[in-house]
Amino acid sequence: MSIIKLNATDSTNVYLKELALSQQLDDFTVVSTELQRKGRGQMGSEWLSDKGKNLTVSILKKLRAFHVENQFDLNCIVSLSIYDVLHELTVPNLSVKWPNDILSGNQKICGILIENVLKGKLIYMAILGIGLNVNQTYFQNVEKASSLKLLLGQNFDLDELLTKILDKLKSYFLISREELKTLYLKVLFRKDKPSTFKDLNNRNFTGIIRGVDPSGKLLVELEGGLLKPFDLKELKMLY
C-alpha cells in the first residue's frame, strides 16, 4: 500500500484525484495531510479541521465493472468501515446518518465525501474522502460536532486509526451487496422513528425513515403511509 503524507494541501480528494488521473497508482493509495486549506464537504460545503489533530485522508479505490447505479454501495462500505473501527474503540451511541455521516448520539464525528470518476456508466475509480475528528476538542461555528478525544477522554494515534480503517475497507469491498445493505440499515440513524425534516421550500414535515432505495435515495414514510424517496438536496433532517 502506498501512502503520500503532505504537510498541507487544498483538499486530499482533489490532490488524489489529479494524481490518479495523471499516473498509475496502486489500489488503496492514500493521501493524508496535516492541514487542508480548502477541505471539501458534502453539497459544496467546507470541511474544517485543526492542523495535525484529525484524520483528513483520501483513499483511491480502483474499480472494474462497477455500475454507477450501484454507487451507494460505496457509501455503505466506507461508513460501515468507520462505524466498525469506532465501535471497537467503544465510541458510544454510534449510528450512520444517511447518507454517510458518522454520529455519536446526535453529534457528528466523521464526514465522508466520495468522488467518482466515470467512464460512461461505469465508475472506474472512486476517491474515498474521510474526515474523522480525533484529537480536536474545540469546534468553532460547527453545530453538533464531536471527536474521539471529547468522547473517550484520550488522544489517539492517527496512523493507527488509518490502518484500522484500511483493513475494514478492504474486507467490506469483499462482501455482497445484499449483506452491505442489511448491515447499513441496522445502523441507520433514526430508522423506524418519527422524525422531522425540512423540505426544499423550507417547510417542516414529519415522517419515518424506512430505508434506502436502490439508487441510494432515502425512503421516508409520510403521514398517510406514502413511501417517498428523497435525494440529498431534497430534505434536511432536524435532530
Taking contact as CB under 6 A, which single stretch among the options 7-15, 20-28, 69-77, 191-199 is the one that binds ligand BTN? 7-15
Q: How far is the CB of 50 from ligand BTN (least distance, A)?
A: 12
Taking contact as CB under 6 A, which single stretch among the options 35-43, 74-82, 168-176, 177-185 is the one that binds ligand BTN? 35-43
CB-based contacts of 127, cutoff 8 Å, min separation 6? 13, 16, 17, 20, 58, 59, 60, 114, 115, 116, 117
Q: Do 59 and 30 touch, CB atoms closer than 8 A?
A: yes
Alpha-carbon distances, residue 176 vs 90, 171, 183, 228 (angstroms):
27, 11, 11, 26
Q: Is 112 in the site for ligand BTN (CB under 6 A)?
A: yes
Among 45, 106, 155, 206, binds ligand BTN (CB under 6 A): 45
Exposed (0-12), middle (13-18) or buried (19+): which is 129, by Cβ within 10 Å? Answer: buried
Q: How far is the CB of 20 from ligand BTN (least distance, A)?
A: 14
Q: Is 111 in the site for ligand BTN (CB under 6 A)?
A: yes
CB-based contacts of 34, cutoff 8 Å, min separation 6? 6, 7, 8, 51, 52
Q: Is 113 in the site for ligand BTN (CB under 6 A)?
A: yes
Q: Which residue number is nearest to ligand BTN in terms of Cβ?
A: 111
CA gap 198, 95 in Å, rounded: 21
Given the complex with ligand BTN, which of 48 and 175 has the nearer CB atom? 48
Q: Is 2 in the site for ligand BTN (CB under 6 A)?
A: no
CA gap 126, 117 in Å, rounded: 6
Q: Is 135 in the site for ligand BTN (CB under 6 A)?
A: no
Among 20, 29, 53, 58, binds ligand BTN (CB under 6 A): 58
Q: Is 211 in the site for ligand BTN (CB under 6 A)?
A: no
Three-class secondary structure assignment of 167-225 = HHHHHHCCCCHHHHHHHHHHCECCECCEEEEEECCCCEEEEEEEEECCCCCEEEEECCC
Q: Is 40 in the site for ligand BTN (CB under 6 A)?
A: yes
Exposed (0-12), middle (13-18) or buried (19+): which is 161, by Cβ within 10 Å? Answer: buried
Q: Is 99 in the site for ligand BTN (CB under 6 A)?
A: no
Q: Is 131 in the site for ligand BTN (CB under 6 A)?
A: yes
Q: How far is the CB of 109 from ligand BTN (least distance, A)?
A: 11
Taking contact as CB under 6 A, which single stretch among the options 36-44, 60-68, 78-86, 230-238 is the one that binds ligand BTN? 36-44
Site residues (vs ligand BTN, CB under 6 A): 11-13, 36, 39-42, 45, 47, 56-58, 101, 111-113, 129-131
